[in-house]
């Protein structure tokens, strides 16, 4: 689509990817009409603090917002909040909203994110059972996080474990239930799983792996306990569910746009309809460096795809794709992840898990594909570049902490 033909851009969904696309469109010189449609009542905000410092009450609400209301006015962005996009009428290039309004577009960006996977058991609708995705969720959760109360967290992924750390630090009795044989099973290696399970246990969290939840018990409509498949009852004053997310792809699917665990896009974030783009958690994209498609659930991915969509709509050169990265904060542990470790054949530990400062490198055919760096920023930063360069590295060298990481990186680049 030539940039000159585009005078009206509509973005459905008002989160991380949308915020980036708006900025990139204006920075890229787009001076036509820009409309943002978001079903939450809030301006676009960052979600990572919701399970970290903001949940703990150590991060002010204003800091969550990417931009203040005045920025949207200055940039002449029409912002429709509390408004849900319900249907795309592709032949007329029109987006329909829940309250009956219609928005014609020349280009449409779907930045609808994802939603928590619902707990598939009896009792999931009891009072005191929560998801953790939105600011409104945290407003409901926080008043219940009172010292001495019992919280059961279902799912030991990053969000579940971050919430467990916060709850523990706030003095709650925390039990984490995980169906898989280890924590973080879907996202990282056994080495990291063992380290994080150990750390949580040391902090007083009860972690039950290979454990199946049967249902939730309640009294007078409020949750009182989590019942396991073997009949054990774990008392709960509140339950937090963190069992993964589902992409919000229905808008695209119902309009006949190709989807497969996410809205399928090309390297320019363009869907199977050339006037419609998708970015962020809702999109499944080519992971060029890894030679496959995939859906990433991260801030970096939402930002990168927001930029890609804006550039493609404006007819600007495609921005270079960066190494995928992610982070997680639990207690005083800062985990930084670069690359995607699936399919590794060798791992190398550099540093000492006991000292709580180490990195696990993942290699395939001696080529670095990912790193998990705990309290080790140099290893993370160097790895981002080495991964994208397809660097071949000798395991013995990587594991040798007497050689600084920057020297290893310099040698690999030479
Ligand atoms: C608690 C938590 C902690 C996280 N921590 C980290 C972290 O440490 N590091 C990291 O990299 N990532 C983290 N993430 C993930 C990261 O926040 C997401 O990957 C990112 O927000 C995705 O951006 P997005 O724009 O695709 O979706 P979102 O930011 O979710 O925005 C999508 C928006 O679209 C709205 N919407 C959906 N459908 C419609 C519709 N039909 N009409 C109108 N609006 C609609 C949604 O309600 C939402 O407001 C975390 C996520 C959560 C929930």
Instruction: Please say if the pLDDT value at position 257 is more than 50.
Output: yes
Q: Which atom of ligand 1 is nearest to the CA of 329?
A: 8
What spacing in Å lies between the alpha carbon of 334 and ligand 1's midpoint? 21
What spacing in Å lies between the alpha carbon of 47 and ligand 1's midpoint? 6
Size of the chain in residues:
414
What confidence tens digit (pLDDT) does each residue in 189-233 have? 999 999 999 999 999 999 999 999 999 999 999 999 999 999 999
Name the one residue in this structure whose structure tokens are 């760096």: 373
Element (H, E) at 334: strand 333-339
Q: What local confidence, expressed as pLDDT, does residue 2 receive?
A: 43
B/e letters for 26-65, b = 16+ CB within 10 Å, e = fewer, are beeebeebbbbbbbbebbbbbbbbbbbebbbeebeeeebb
Instruction: Please say if the pLDDT value at position 3 is more than 90.
Output: no
Q: Which atom of ligand 1 is nearest to the CA of 299?
A: 11
Average pLDDT, the chain: 96
**Residue closest to 285 by CA, chosen among 256, 317, 307, 255:** 307
Q: What local confidence, expressed as pLDDT, does residue 5 receive?
A: 85
Q: What local confidence, expressed as pLDDT, does residue 4 receive?
A: 62
User: Is the pTM of the predicted complex or chain greater than 0.95?
Assistant: yes
Instruction: For residues 228-257, give the mean pLDDT.
Output: 98
Q: Which atom of ligand 1 is nearest to the CA of 279?
A: 26
CA atoms of 82 and 239, how far apart (whole Å): 27
Q: Is ligand 1 within 6 A of the CB of residue 189?
A: no
Q: Which atom of ligand 1 is nearest to the CA of 13?
A: 34
Q: Is ligand 1 within 6 A of the CB of residue 39?
A: yes
From 82, 298, 306, 325, the mutation candidate for ligand 1 (largest count of ligand atoms within 8 A of CB) is 298
Q: Which atom of ligand 1 is nearest to the CA of 282?
A: 26
Interior CA angle at 391 toward 360 and 369, to 5°? 45
Q: Is ligand 1 within 6 A of the CB of residue 341?
A: no
Give the residue, by CA position, lying nearest to ligand 1 atom 29.
15
* Dihedral of alpha carbons 307, 310, 283, 13, sign: positive
What confidence tens digit (pLDDT) does each residue in 166-196 have? 999 999 999 999 999 999 999 999 999 999 9
262: which residues sit within 8 A by CB, 6+ positions away? Answer: 247, 249, 278, 282, 283, 284, 295
What spacing in Å lies between the alpha carbon of 16 and ligand 1's midpoint? 6
φ, ψ (nearest 5 deg) of residue 270: -90, 135
Confidence category of residue 413, pLDDT binned at 50, 70, 90: confident
Instruction: Please say if the pLDDT value at position 401 is more than 50.
Output: yes
Residue-range domains of the chain with CATH: 3-115+245-314 (3.50.50.60), 124-241 (3.50.50.60), 332-413 (3.30.390.30)
Q: Which atom of ligand 1 is nearest to the CA of 296?
A: 19
What confidence tens digit (pLDDT) does each residue in 119-158 have? 999 999 999 999 999 999 999 999 999 999 999 999 999 9
CA atoms of 341 and 370, how far apart (whole Å): 5
What spacing in Å lies between the alpha carbon of 20 and ligand 1's midpoint? 12
What spacing in Å lies between the alpha carbon of 112 and ligand 1's midpoint? 8
């Amino acid at each position: 689509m030539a940039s000159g033909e585009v005078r009206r851009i509509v973005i459905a969904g008002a989160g991380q990817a949308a915020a980036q696309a708006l900025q990139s469109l204006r920075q890229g010189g787009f001076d036509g009409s820009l409309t943002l449609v978001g079903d939450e009542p809030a301006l676009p905000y960052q979600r990572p603090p919701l399970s970290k410092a903001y949940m703990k009450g150590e991060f002010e609400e204003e800091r969550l917002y990417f931009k203040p209301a005045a920025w949207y006015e200055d940039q002449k962005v029409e912002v429709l909040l509390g408004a849900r996009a319900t249907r795309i009428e592709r032949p007329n290039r029109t987006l329909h909203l829940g309250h009956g309004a219609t928005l014609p577009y020349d280009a449409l960006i779907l930045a609808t994110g994802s939603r928590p996977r619902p707990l598939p058991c009896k009792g999931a609708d009891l009072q005191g059972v929560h998801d953790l995705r939105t600011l409104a969720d945290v407003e409901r959760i926080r008043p219940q996080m009172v010292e001495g109360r019992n919280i059961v967290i279902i799912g030991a992924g990053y969000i579940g474990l971050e919430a467990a750390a916060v709850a523990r630090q706030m003095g709650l009795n925390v039990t984490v239930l995980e169906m898989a044989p280890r924590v973080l099973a879907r996202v990282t290696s056994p080495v990291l799983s063992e380290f994080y399970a150990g750390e949580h246990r040391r902090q007083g969290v009860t972690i039950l792996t290979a454990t199946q939840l049967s249902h939730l018990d309640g009294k007078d409509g409020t949750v009182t306990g989590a019942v396991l498949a073997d009949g054990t009852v774990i008392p709960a004053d509140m339950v937090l569910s963190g069992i993964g997310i589902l992409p919000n792809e229905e808008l695209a699917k119902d309009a006949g746009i190709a989807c497969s665990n996410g809205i399928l896009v090309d390297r320019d974030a363009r869907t199977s309809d050339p006037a419609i783009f998708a970015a962020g958690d809702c999109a499944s994209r080519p992971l060029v460096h890894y030679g496959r498609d995939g859906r990433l659930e991260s801030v970096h991915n939402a930002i990168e795809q927001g930029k890609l969509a804006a550039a493609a709509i404006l007819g600007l050169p495609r921005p270079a794709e960066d190494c995928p990265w992610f982070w997680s904060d639990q207690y005083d542990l800062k985990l930084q992840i670069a690359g995607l470790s699936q399919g590794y054949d060798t791992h190398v530990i550099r540093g000492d898990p006991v000292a709580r400062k180490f990195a696990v490198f993942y290699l395939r055919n001696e080529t670095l594909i990912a790193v998990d760096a705990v309290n080790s920023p140099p290893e993370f930063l160097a790895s981002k570049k080495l991964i994208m360069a397809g660097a071949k590295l000798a395991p013995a060298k990587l594991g040798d902490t007497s050689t600084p990481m920057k020297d290893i990186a310099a040698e690999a680049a030479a």
